[in-house]
Amino acid sequence: MLQTSHDSSEQVYGGGCHCGSVRFRVKIRQWRAIACNCSICTKKGFLHHIVPPSDFELLQGDDDLTTYRFNTGTAQHLFCQHCGIHPFYHPRSHPDQIDVNLNCLDEPNLREKFEVVAFEGRAWEENIASIR
């Protein structure tokens, strides 16, 4: 963990996929995460932390990422083509942002520091305003 500010609430963490081909750094400014129960988030085990692109840096693995799109095609579900892990993506809810999977950060038990908010993603259209 690297502290990047005099404000102890802002910290930078490393993360990546399982095989190590994809590595990134993310600045955490707000300790809030979203647990979505839609079909893809449930199957991937994705715990969402959405950040602006300026708070995210892909260190390696751009060529190792593959994109999966479905439904409207807006979301770019990125995953490592070697190990299949989804460390981050561009979500439909915030297409100009980066959605980091907190389960892919290197810091053990980091998710315990987050307030986790449930999102009823099975009824995405009816509930999306609650997280925008």
Q: What is the pLDDT of residues 20-43, one digit of tens each?
A: 999 999 999 999 999 999 999 999
Q: What is the mean pLDDT of residues 94-123?
A: 93
For domain 2-119, which CATH number applies: 2.170.150.70, 3.30.70.270, 2.40.50.100, 2.102.10.10? 2.170.150.70
Q: What is the mean pLDDT of residues 66-91?
A: 94
Alpha-carbon separation of residue 27 from 18, 31, 120, 122, 124 (angstroms): 20, 11, 26, 29, 27
21 Rama sector, left if φ>0, alpha if ψ -120 to 50, beta otherwise: alpha
* Structure confidence at residue 80 (pLDDT): 98
Pairing of strands 23-28, 56-60: antiparallel
The pTM is what?
0.88
Domain range list for the chain: 2-119
- Residue 127: pLDDT band with limits 50, 70, 90: confident
